[in-house]
Structure formats: structure tokens, C-alpha cells
């Protein structure tokens, strides 16, 4: 039976690095693994540069742009009363510039110009996650997700909706409920000094040093994470990257999920 593995953290701790190392470690041991890192176009439960379109408007969009209709349907994700349309694959646009702007105006989660109501946001997630749960391939030993349970949804809810801790906890509980019947394990990576880790991450990414606002946001995010983990993710495991290092943490996670 497949196991669903979530690797979570605040920004800069290194979950993407660890996801890749864990995937390679498991494959080397003969396991079948599907892994999804940040901004992965193929991720079935996470969204980046994706338009949110209520179904009535979706049908109208296809009807009014017949030259794009086949491409729209190709990149569509049914989501209950709405449809999501992916319009970028990484940094590559999937539609011509003349049409791309229409989809950008309907962005679902990443700095949306016109955010969908919060209830609709959660309903879309529920529909897509339930669809994923029904499509899990039992021949795959592990599905590994980089930040799809806490990291990205909480960022969206805090930045776009100013959601409370209670609202974010309810959303995550709903996501996990969508996966009922599947084996789910959650690993939360953390460091002892968020500011120092952010400075290191920005330096490694060749970005300007984080200012006080960025440090403040991610310090607050850590508080949200702790609350949500305690309220909605009873089976999670915390992993201290500062204390143990990436290789040791990778070993610990691999041992835990293959025991």
C-alpha cells in the first residue's frame, strides 16, 4: 500500500533538498517513489500559477476563445463547482501572451489580484485532494510532497485572507480528512534560529539578505505551524536539522517510513 509523506518547514530550512535526498535514498533501496518539489507543474495537490474559474465562467471562456479551448482543457483540473487551469510550467508560459493575462487575473493562490472567497478556496482544495486520494496508484510505495500540507496553504491563507490560526488548522484537518484510508506521515523540519537560517538560505539562493519584515513573517509562520501541528496533525514528527544535520535527518525519516 502507498504511503503519503509530507515534508514541511518554514522557509529556508531545506525541505526541497531533503525531499530529493530522501527520494534518491528510497529508490536506491528498490522502492517506487513519486516526489513533488516546490513549483512542480505535475503536483496533483498543490498549485502555482493556476487560475481559479467558476464552472459557468469556464464554459464561457472556452466558448469565447475557441482557438485556446483545447489547450485550456488540456491544463484543466476539475475542482467541484470550479475548475483550475495551470498557465505556467515552471517559468514556461503555457498560453500565448494575448490570452495569458486573462488567466493571471484569475490566479488562485500566488498573490491573486482577486482572491476567491476563503470558503471557495477550501472547497477547491477538498475536491482536488479527494480526487487525488481516489487516484493513488497502489504500485507506488511512496508519494513525497514538499510543503503541500502546511507550507503553501498556510502562506496563501495568511497572506491572501489574513486567516486565523483556527482557520488554518481547520483547513489542514480538512485536507487530512480527504486522505482518509491512506497511510499519511508528516515530518516537520526546524532550525533553532530562524533568522540565521533565512540569511543562509538567501545567500545560497543569491538573494538580498532578509529584512526585518521577512524574518518577522516567518517567525509568525512558525507559531502558526506549531499550532496547526498540535491541533490538526497528531501523528507528525519534528526533526531538528540544526542538531542532527540533513544526512542524519534523512536517515531518520527513511528509517521511520520503511520500518
Sequence-ordered alpha helix ranges (H) in the chain: 15-28, 55-64, 66-74, 97-104, 118-135, 151-161, 165-178, 194-204, 212-232, 241-258
Does 248 fall in a domain? no
For 195-254, how does the pLDDT look when each residue is reduced to its tens digit (9 = 90+)? 777 787 777 778 888 788 888 888 888 999 999 999 999 889 999 888 888 788 899 999
For 32-74, how does the pLDDT look when each residue is reduced to its tens digit (9 = 90+)? 999 999 889 999 999 989 999 999 999 999 999 999 999 999 9
Strand partners, 184: 4
Say whether both 214 and 127 belong to one domain: yes
Say whether both 78 and 132 belong to one domain: no
Does 214 fall in a domain? yes
Say whether both 180 and 122 belong to one domain: yes
Alpha-carbon distances, residue 108 vs 46, 86, 215, 251 (angstroms): 11, 10, 26, 36
Does 109 fall in a domain? no
Say whether both 200 and 233 belong to one domain: yes
Domain end (from 104, 132, 150):
104
Q: What is the pTM of this model?
A: 0.93
Say whether both 138 and 16 belong to one domain: yes
Does 110 fall in a domain? no
Does 246 fall in a domain? no
Say whether both 218 and 122 belong to one domain: yes
Amino acid at each position: 500500500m502507498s504511503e503519503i509523506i509530507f515534508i514541511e518547514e518554514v522557509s529556508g530550512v531545506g525541505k526541497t533538498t531533503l525531499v530529493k535526498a530522501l527520494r534518491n535514498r528510497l529508490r536506491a533501496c528498490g522502492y517506487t517513489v513519486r516526489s513533488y518539489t516546490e513549483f512542480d507543474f505535475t503536483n496533483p495537490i498543490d498549485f502555482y500559477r493556476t487560475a481559479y474559474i467558476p464552472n459557468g465562467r469556464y464554459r464561457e471562456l472556452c466558448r469565447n476563445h475557441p482557438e485556446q479551448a483545447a489547450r485550456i482543457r488540456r491544463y484543466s483540473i476539475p475542482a467541484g463547482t470550479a475548475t483550475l487551469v495551470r498557465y505556467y510550467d515552471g517559468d514556461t508560459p503555457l498560453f500565448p501572451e494575448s490570452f495569458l493575462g486573462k488567466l493571471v487575473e484569475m490566479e488562485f493562490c500566488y498573490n491573486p489580484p482577486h482572491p476567491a472567497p476563503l470558503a471557495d478556496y477550501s472547497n477547491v482544495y477538498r475536491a482536488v485532494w479527494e480526487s487525488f486520494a481516489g487516484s493513488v496508484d497502489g504500485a507506488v510505495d511512496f508519494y513525497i510532497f514538499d510543503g503541500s500540507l502546511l507550507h503553501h496553504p498556510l502562506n496563501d491563507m495568511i497572506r491572501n485572507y489574513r486567516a486565523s490560526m483556527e482557520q488554518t488548522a481547520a483547513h489542514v484537518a480538512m485536507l487530512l480528512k480527504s486522505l482518509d484510508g491512506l497511510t499519511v506521515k508528516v515530518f516537520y523540519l526546524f532550525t533553532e534560529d530562524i533568522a540565521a537560517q533565512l540569511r543562509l538560505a538567501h545567500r545560497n539562493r543569491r538573494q538580498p539578505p532578509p529584512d526585518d519584515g521577512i524574518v518577522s513573517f516567518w517567525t509568525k509562520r512558525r507559531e502558526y505551524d506549531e499550532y496547526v501541528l498540535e491541533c490538526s496533525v497528531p501523528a507528525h514528527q519534528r526533526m531538528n536539522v540544526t542538531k542532527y544535520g540533513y544526512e542524519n535527518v534523512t536517515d531518520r525519516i527513511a528509517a521511520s517510513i520503511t520500518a
